Amino acid sequence: MLNLVTGATGFIGSHLVEALLLRGEQVRAFVRPTSNARSLRALGVEVRIGTLRDNASLVAAAEGADRIFHCAALVSDWGDPMAFQEANVNGVLNVLAAATRAKVSKFIHLSTSDVYGFSGRPMDESEALSPRGFPYADSKIEGERLVWNHYRRVGLPVCVIRPATVYGPRGTLLVSGLVEAIRKRRLFFIDEGRHIAGLTYVGNLVDALILAADSPASVGQAYNISDGTDITWKQYIDALSDLCQVPRITRSYSHSRAYLMATFYEAWYRLLGRSERPPLTRWFVEMMGTDQIFPIEKARRELGYRPRVSFEEGIRYTGDWLRQVGILGDGFFQD
């Protein structure tokens, strides 16, 4: 079984590659020219270089593949809307075309629970996708629609996975990024951190991706994936603070005040033409300021999904990685 993994050097893609290899499967990685693929080659992975804009390199990479896991995406709470469009919409269309030409047996598309629009209520897979004007989430909605259109028009066997808040080793935005903010005392809670975080340990997500790829029942289906816990943002951030051995965060703003602040910052940065991330974004406020509740009963029932890594284990593994890469040293930050 030959598996093509796009975004194979990224947070989720790299964990997926390792899990597939442990199963004794063949893996071909599709990575950007700027990516560091040394670790993949050291594992014996076949590496193909290209971009999601390059149809020829995608077609060549997909040739002979039995399954495609499309993990590559631009993931950020801030950036040029056209860059999100290029990566998460146009890129999806190009990968779909390559998958169709290769006649793969399964196309697994990694989406996000952000497509539901941060309603704050439980959202199962039957809910309509809801754009909110956030470039990342809106581009993922457009990308998903392309996947479903391809399924209906040409019969490509697709499956969509919608993970909630993914954390774990190699995580950036919601792991090392939060750790840096904690260290610099720049982080604050929204609504005292009481909202459910929707945590999804990366290893549990990888289990779900492989289960979906293996299951005939997953064709034409979408699945929410999380750890199925009610861990709050306060519990998660407190755990990261404890890893760092620094005082826990106490500052907090209400959702309404934080959203107003984020709106101002975003407008100011756009007015000045600044490309760097503002101190606060509306996406970040919605992520931490609304309950992230996405039932996983469908994945349990149809895929046999069972989150195997607990919150306590996930935090421990994350701490081990932070120390391994030097972000944490002997329990303290290394400058």
Q: Closest Cα partner for 160 from 78, 70, 245, 80?
A: 70
Q: What is the pLDDT of residue 334?
A: 35
Q: How far apart are CA 186 and CA 280, in angstroms?
A: 10
Residue 335 has pLDDT above 80, yes or no: no
Tokens of 171: 């995580």
Q: Are 31 and 48 in contact (CB under 8 A)?
A: yes
Q: Where are the alpha helices (DSSP H) in 164-250?
A: 177-183, 202-214, 233-244
Q: Are 210 and 23 in contact (CB under 8 A)?
A: yes
Q: How far apart are CA 213 and CA 236, in angstroms?
A: 30
pLDDT bin (cut points 50, 70, 90) of residue 331 is very low
Average pLDDT of the chain?
Answer: 95
How many residues belong to the chain? 335
Q: What is the pLDDT of residue 330?
A: 52
Residue 233 has pLDDT above 90, yes or no: yes
Which residue's entry shows tokens 């992520």? 287
The pTM assigned to this predicted structure is 0.95
pLDDT bin (cut points 50, 70, 90) of residue 328 is confident
Residue 307 has pLDDT above 60, yes or no: yes
pLDDT bin (cut points 50, 70, 90) of residue 135 is very high
Which residue's entry shows tokens 């079984």? 1
Q: Closest Cα partner for 171 from 141, 201, 126, 128?
A: 201
What's the rounded mean pLDDT across residues 212-222?
98
Tokens of 116: 């539901």
Residue 206 has pLDDT above 50, yes or no: yes
Query: What is the fold, at CATH topology level, of the domain defined by 2-170+198-227+293-308?
Result: Rossmann fold (3.40.50)
Q: How far apart are CA 333 and CA 216, in angstroms?
A: 47
Q: Are 124 and 295 in contact (CB under 8 A)?
A: yes
SS3 163: strand
Residue 148 has pLDDT above 60, yes or no: yes
Q: How far apart are CA 94 and CA 92, in angstroms?
A: 5
Q: Are 238 and 311 in contact (CB under 8 A)?
A: no
Is the torsion defined by CA of 286, 114, 183, 195 positive or negative?
positive
Query: What totals of helices (H) and strands (E) does the chain contain, helices first?
Result: 13, 13
Q: Are 26 and 35 in contact (CB under 8 A)?
A: no
Residue 173 has pLDDT above 50, yes or no: yes
Give the up-direction half-sphere exposure of residue 321: CA atoms within 13 A in the CB hemisphere. Answer: 19
Q: Closest Cα partner for 69 from 184, 198, 218, 179?
A: 218
Q: How far apart are CA 189 and CA 220, in angstroms?
A: 39
pLDDT bin (cut points 50, 70, 90) of residue 275 is confident
Which residue's entry shows tokens 């947070």? 11
CA 13 to chain centre: 10
φ, ψ for residue 40 (rounded to 5)? -65, -45
Residue 332 has pLDDT above 90, yes or no: no
Q: What is the pLDDT of residue 333?
A: 37
Q: Are 311 and 196 in contact (CB under 8 A)?
A: no
Q: How far apart are CA 12 and CA 2, in angstroms?
A: 19
Q: What is the DSSP string of 50-108?
A: --TT-HHHHHHHHTT-SEEEE------SSS-HHHHHIIIIIHHHHHHHHHHHHT-SEEE
What's the rounded mean pLDDT across residues 265-290?
95
